[in-house]
Amino acid sequence: MSAPDDTFDVIRWYDSAIIAHNTAQVLGKYSHERDIGTLTIPSEATPIVFTCRPLDRSQRRMVRRQPSEPDQNDTAFRLGVVKITNPPGSSGARVLIPARARPGEPLDDDVMDSLGLSEDDEQEIGSVIRIKSFLAHGVPLSCPQLDSSLRAFLAGGVLLAEQKRASQTQTDESSDP
């Protein structure tokens, strides 16, 4: 288990800023292992990056007491996210450090609402924080693919295909005499 002061970055594996630059195989591998080094992220891409920290013992107990896995993921997100780079609605690189009532306390509902994230995003990132926090030392990280994340990935792929098709159509029309 890592020391509580260690941080790690997580990108939603279905983030549109990375779907366009990575194969499904690379994204699938990233979705399980969460090694950002496996991704191709061009300098112009601005994925939402969550800087997180593993939960300490009392926080893990708080997560474990939650009655369902979605509640556990929500609690892990509220406790573990320390910074968000390129948050939704930002133009260009921007950093958001969510405000807490006291250090180590979970983010309250008002702060959560102000982040501009979907509950699916919170579940995705919270599941990684939860799994990483409970992982035994030396055991490789292996995250499940949540159903909501799979749907978001498929929707992002469809949107990317439509954009490419529209771009190709415009290119073809402009090259016609």
| Cβ contact 33:176 at 8 Å | no
Angle at 39 between CA 26 and CA 116, to 5 degrees: 105
Q: What is the pLDDT of residues 30-47, one digit of tens each?
A: 888 889 999 999 888 889
The more confidently predicted of residues 26 and 174 is 26
Q: Record the pTM.
A: 0.79
Looking at the chain, the number of H-run helices and the number of E-run strands are 7, 4
Residue 166 has pLDDT above 70, yes or no: no
3-state secondary structure of 153: helix
How far, in Å, CA of 14 to CA of 24, rounded? 10
Q: What is the pLDDT of residues 85-134, one digit of tens each?
A: 988 876 665 898 999 988 889 999 999 998 889 888 899 999 999 999 99
